[in-house]
Amino acid sequence: MIRTLWYKNALIYCLSVDSFMDANGDGVGDFDGLARRLDYLHGLGVRALWLMPFQPSPRKDHGYDITDYYSVDPRYGTLGDFVEFTHGCKERGMRVLMDLVINHTSDQHPWFQASRSDPESPYRDWYIWSETKPKDAHKGMVFPGFQDATWDYDDEAKAWYFHRFFKFQPDLNYANPDVRAEIFRIIGFWIELGVSGFRMDAVPFIIAEDSPRAGEPELKYQMLRDFRAFAQWRNGECVMLAEANVPPKESLEYFGRDADRLHMMFNFPANRTHFYAHASGDASALKKALKDTRNRPETGQWCHFLRNHDELDLSNLTEEQMEATFAAFAPDPEMRLFDRGIRRRLAPMLRGDRRRVELANSVLMSLPGTPVIRYGDEIGMGDDLALPERESVRTAMQWDNAPNGGFTLNESSACPVIADGPYGYRHINVAEQRRDPDSLLNWTERLIRLRRETPEIGYGDFDIVRSPKDILALRYEWRGASVLIVHNFSDRPREITFGLDATGGTKRKLVDLLDGDHDDGDEAGRHTIVIEPYGYRWYRIGEMNDALERREA
């Protein structure tokens, strides 16, 4: 594989414009504010941004309820501001991915308004209607406890409509070719404005077989192929990243066995087992998840993450694993959500223990795929459990110790800011951490650089090196170069011995990429290392001056 697929070695940073930086002082984050922070992001090593929805919306589900696909919510700026922002990214070599929320619209969208008010409207068939109440109206809810049906009666239409998510998010009908044609226009529009990719929301539901959307069986996958092909015709570097929390064996259907569907997928199986490893000290389930998701087309890529804007979803862990993870990270019921998840940020879950926060991030950067980090995790931001539902993890970015954490100059911020306690902005903020060479921020920057200088991870093949259950040792090979990365999930120091002679029997050195030290190994090519509690080691296998990847001639 030649090194041309930018998404294989990029660091993706996700953020929501409304909570990042307010430039005009109205208390709401905006594109102008974000544009002023691009040098910060570039300095951190970010090479792609994933923006949560920013189009006009009543924001009853944090923007995942859109009323106009062709505009910017006026609270965040104008289309002009958006283009200034994408231009600023381009100048710095950073790509922009945006959320493509097309499973559903807001019920306030003019398409739905037309659909519900006039049975003769061409928009009637853009949504999914039933004259009678479907038998499964109370099945298949995504937000149990907050949603009691997937079909609701609409007084105006005098019919039932389908909504996989909240009642105010009616599902679009993909069996209708006009709906599909509209999605092409939306994709094409944002590409013209500088976007290089889309994080496609709720993909399994868009193509679900049990959805009431009628359609030929192949339609669903054909649609994914068509979206990808269209996006790439318009812009060759454009990628589609799927939010599809599906069992590993289904993932190839999303990538496409011929690599013709979606380029990237979030690796949910690795995410939940990674947290279980932190909860239990046992990395076996994580190793299994990595093996189960090993298979992907050469141009396909997994995206790994720690936390995102949703709950940490533990579904599909065994009952025992789930209980252990809840017990460790969400002992209090108010920390849990939808019976399956945890609504907390990374740092407080790990009790602010710097060693464990570093371990989690080091694992993230070393997993086979592309790392995605969430705004604020680079400084160890906390959560606010007094806020409802998933809002607990969506508080304003903490820039400095000025009122509202420097997020806005307005006295009252529209976005909640964490002011009190150990995670308050007076203690946790960018300005302070910039000054301290040992801060989490500066450590994260160094780690990101290390990840970028280790393209074997994004491009190469990996092996899980046999080791005890509390150790995760991954070895990557690419173009003749190889790295070994070792993590200790236990609270005890561990001594481990590895044999490296598998690569041709020659005696090889382990060059420590973090401290420059090296280990010669014994005559048989075995290396014995001692790794401290929650410790991590990044090694390049080779000679002393092999600290950086060497290209083949």
Q: What does the binding site for ligand NOJ look like in residue numbers (CB under 6 A)? A: 61, 64, 101, 165, 201-202, 243, 309-310
Using the minimum distance from each CB to ligand NOJ, give the nearer residue, 96 or 277: 96
Give least dist CB 431 to ligand NOJ, A: 30
* 129: helix, strand or coil: strand
Give least dist CB 309 to ligand NOJ, A: 6
Write down the residue that tokens 């979206």 correspond to. 227
Is the dihedral angle over the CA atoms 253, 272, 471, 282 positive or is it negative? Answer: negative
Using the minimum distance from each CB to ligand NOJ, give the nearer residue, 81 or 201: 201
DSSP string over 329-392: H--SGGGEETTTEE---HHHHTTT-HHHHHHHHHHHHHSSSEEEEETTTTTT----TTS-GGGG
Angle at alpha carbon of residue 427, lines to 62 and 487, rounded to 5°: 80
Mark whether 243 is an active-site residue: yes
Give least dist CB 26 to ligand NOJ, A: 24
Cβ count near 110 (within 10 Å)? 12
Using the minimum distance from each CB to ligand NOJ, give the nearer residue, 101 or 373: 101
Give least dist CB 286 to ligand NOJ, A: 23
* 74: helix, strand or coil: coil
Give least dist CB 61 to ligand NOJ, A: 5
Active-site residue, selected from the candidate residues 18, 107, 152, 201: 201
Short-list 381, 478, 363, 388, CA closest to 426:
381
- Half-sphere exposure (CA, 13 Å, Cβ side) for 317? 28
Instruction: Give the Cα separation of 365 and 507 in Å (integer).
Output: 28
Using the minimum distance from each CB to ligand NOJ, give the nearer residue, 32 or 310: 310
Instruction: Give the Cα separation of 281 and 122 in Å (integer).
Output: 57
Active-site residue, selected from the candidate residues 243, 313, 378, 383: 243
State in Å, rounded, how far the first CA of the chain is from the last one.
Answer: 15
Give least dist CB 201 to ligand NOJ, A: 5
Which tokens in the block code for residue 344? 């907390």
* 485: helix, strand or coil: strand
SS3 content of the chain, % helix, strand, coil (to 5): 30, 20, 50
Using the minimum distance from each CB to ligand NOJ, give the nearer residue, 165 or 174: 165
Mark whether 201 is an active-site residue: yes
Short-list 103, 101, 93, CA closest to 62:
101
- Alpha-carbon distances of 63 from 25, 245, 270, 391, 403, rounded to whole Å: 21, 20, 27, 12, 26
Give least dist CB 487 to ligand NOJ, A: 28
Using the minimum distance from each CB to ligand NOJ, give the nearer residue, 27 or 63: 63
Using the minimum distance from each CB to ligand NOJ, give the nearer residue, 61 or 549: 61
Contact yes or no for 55/71 (Cβ under 8 A): yes
Nearest-CB residue for ligand NOJ: 64
**Which residues are marked as active site?**
201, 243
